[in-house]
Structure 1
């Protein structure tokens, strides 16, 4: 028995050694590492990529070759994203591009991937337009605007509010989600008055947009903005006594509540916030997901957020497709991604081939609804209002006294 264990251990070492001696499989990752892009998102995506890449390499790499990650800073700017994708594909000879986390950038990058016919795995770009292009190179394990807008409309209908104002960043993601929310509310809550206000994502002061709500506060305010703009908006809504308040709910539709810098930037303004979420510790998760979360928590000393898992799945998808195809040829990887049943960090799924916003999309991506009830509250302590696949429990929600 000891000899068998020794042989297995030696075999594992030999496999790992041979992997690291071979030419690497290079994956390109385009993320925002500097403003005006969402640097907090970019940092989380990079953390998730690094964790899963190490796990893959520790087990022998891909096809006996080590995985190598090459990064480019897209700054959250479409033109920079286009240049980043061009560099990764033509200069670095990557087998695939991933990491995209801002829709306007993804929309620019997928044009490059489509032209070169190189696989592109969308990590966190929500705009339905990314899917509706119908590019065979683009795969979407990320959330999408129709999914979140539909879920939020159902929640708003359950709250029986009469008036809703959404603040949306002036991007493909923000305006797209705001418009879709209005369409879904017409069906789910036709009695509810709804309007959205577009704000500059690089803005530093939203007081002119917030002040009119003091005189005529709506029943609910929706955030469809990313940090740092989202944090500025939240603080100004709170300072002006608009939301959260005894009169007005505050509902985040951008998935910002689990960012590591959230509480540091919003403090009291985040208390009582209702949130759409793509991760919660009470969500069912495969063992691999638990391992990724534990690895992140060990290194960061804080709970993981959704972007860690989304980034890990993005890289793992590419690695699994290469193994399935037994090749790093672009066409072979694309064919494998289109036909494979993927078991990843967040669960099992395959990509829809229906045209439109579900094209090459994980259609039934799981989500939750929860409420923050204390300042500095970790995600695990928040109140779960809607578990994955379960009905809403709005009776659990609480409002401030004033």
Structure 2
């Protein structure tokens, strides 16, 4: 608890940084950190808040004197959700931009395309995407800030078990995250005594999931539905179709990849009662005062919403966590040497972020537990904390 308290004090200071960059910091050689994000395209709802967060907090860190007396220079590119572009930009960051670390990768697909580049260059890569395949097997240079898709499966199945659901339907998007989460759910579902009676898929560009949902509705014994797809408006389309088919008697679960207020807005009244696992950030004001994450999530929410005029999302929160872990690693290493930053990242302990309390090891480059996920339900157009 002493370690967590010290970390909270440090983060509270970062949140309350003053404006104005000193002349000495301006004159110092910058520490260059790269970022490739999906700011435009189908995954812009992920990449846009990530980009805004990284810019906002880089500016605030620099205004407070930078890191090791040097400013951070954020070198950013927009891959528009295209894995080939992401790889090209990753190579540019390594070969031309001379970055010492990377914070980015909005989607599983773009992240996986960039991993070989940073592994070969021996540059630490803090991914902001969801798939467990990013950090399993453990790679020397690759770390991750948000929870994994497998954790999402486990959190959902645990809630289903509490509600005595034993027979369900699975519907999966064919995007990178949707495919990966489907695979992970199939691997762990038996542990919860749950059977998948019907398994459907849909494409990232599909605008009507009525046929798949009609098959699910017609399948005897289905007690609940889990959707693993997260790209674009697919989850909202599925939810609206679910409402149109009057399937409320079969509870719908979404995945952590849709954890933003825009999902509720796009889904409309059909989202009422939908459950999903998400970071504590979405229910910051509802957390008890004793929760160690409360100062961090409320501070980030206030800072982000004041600066952007937009509601927070867990995606921006993941970017905050990723950047702060890299910055703290540079401070602990007392160096901008990529090798020392990598080693310090692996030694991250007791870091309290928007996603949870992080304790990394050489065998775990995420450092979060399943319990870091909160179970939420859409209630009256907002998030309700269930567990």
Unaligned runs of 5+ in 2: 1-17
Task: Using the TM superposition, name which of 74-83 and 206-215 deviates more.
Answer: 206-215
Instruction: Pick the aligned partner of 2:360 from 345, 351, 355.
Output: 351
Unaligned runs of 5+ in 1: 1-11, 387-402
CA distance in 1, matches of 2:36, 2:19: 32
Q: How many angstroms does 1:200 deviate by?
A: 1.3
RMSD across aligned positions (CA): 2.2
Do the aligned partners of residues 101 and 230 (structure 1) sit closer, same or farther apart at CA in structure 2, a change above 3 Å counting?
A: same
Instruction: Pick the aligned partner of 1:309 from 304, 311, 317.
Output: 317
Counterpart position of 1:32? 38
1:169-184 to 2 correspondences below 5 Å: 169-184=173-188
Residues 1:272 and 2:279 aligned together: no
Counterpart position of 1:335? 343
CA distance in 2, matches of 1:175, 1:214: 22
Q: How many angstroms does 1:268 deviate by?
A: 0.9
Q: How many angstroms does 1:267 deviate by?
A: 0.8
Q: How many angstroms does 1:159 deviate by?
A: 1.5
Q: How many angstroms does 1:68 deviate by?
A: 1.6
TM norm structure 2: 0.86
Counterpart position of 1:147? 151
CA distance in 2, matches of 1:13, 1:165: 52
Counterpart position of 2:250? 248
Cα pair 1:139 1:351 within 8 Å, conserved: no
CA distance in 1, matches of 2:48, 2:328: 24
Do the aligned partners of residues 344 and 363 (structure 1) sit closer, same or farther apart at CA in structure 2, a change above 3 Å counting?
A: closer
1:39-118 to 2 correspondences below 5 Å: 39-118=44-123
CA distance in 2, matches of 1:64, 1:292: 24
Q: How many angstroms does 1:286 deviate by?
A: 5.5
Cα pair 1:145 1:176 within 8 Å, conserved: yes
Cα pair 2:40 2:48 within 8 Å, conserved: no
Cα pair 1:317 1:344 within 8 Å, conserved: no
Q: How many angstroms does 1:288 deviate by?
A: 4.3
Residues 1:197 and 2:200 aligned together: yes
Larger Rg over CA atoms: 1
Do the aligned partners of residues 66 and 93 (structure 1) sit closer, same or farther apart at CA in structure 2, a change above 3 Å counting?
A: same
Counterpart position of 1:187? 191
Moved over 6 A (4+): 12-15
Cα pair 2:174 2:203 within 8 Å, conserved: yes
CA distance in 2, matches of 1:287, 1:212: 46
Counterpart position of 2:328? 320
CA distance in 1, matches of 2:127, 2:235: 23
Residues 1:298 and 2:306 aligned together: yes
Do the aligned partners of residues 292 and 193 (structure 1) sit closer, same or farther apart at CA in structure 2, a change above 3 Å counting?
A: closer
Cα pair 2:66 2:72 within 8 Å, conserved: yes
TM norm structure 1: 0.83
Q: How many angstroms does 1:64 deviate by?
A: 0.9
Do the aligned partners of residues 162 and 295 (structure 1) sit closer, same or farther apart at CA in structure 2, a change above 3 Å counting?
A: same
Do the aligned partners of residues 55 and 345 (structure 1) sit closer, same or farther apart at CA in structure 2, a change above 3 Å counting?
A: farther
Q: How many angstroms does 1:121 deviate by?
A: 0.4
Q: How many angstroms does 1:182 deviate by?
A: 2.9
Instruction: Pick the aligned partner of 2:23 from 17, 21, 35.
Output: 17
CA distance in 1, matches of 2:378, 2:262: 15
Counterpart position of 1:360? 365
Q: How many angstroms does 1:13 deviate by?
A: 9.4
Cα pair 1:49 1:311 within 8 Å, conserved: yes
Counterpart position of 2:15? none
Cα pair 2:34 2:93 within 8 Å, conserved: yes
Counterpart position of 2:14? none
CA distance in 2, matches of 1:114, 1:328: 18
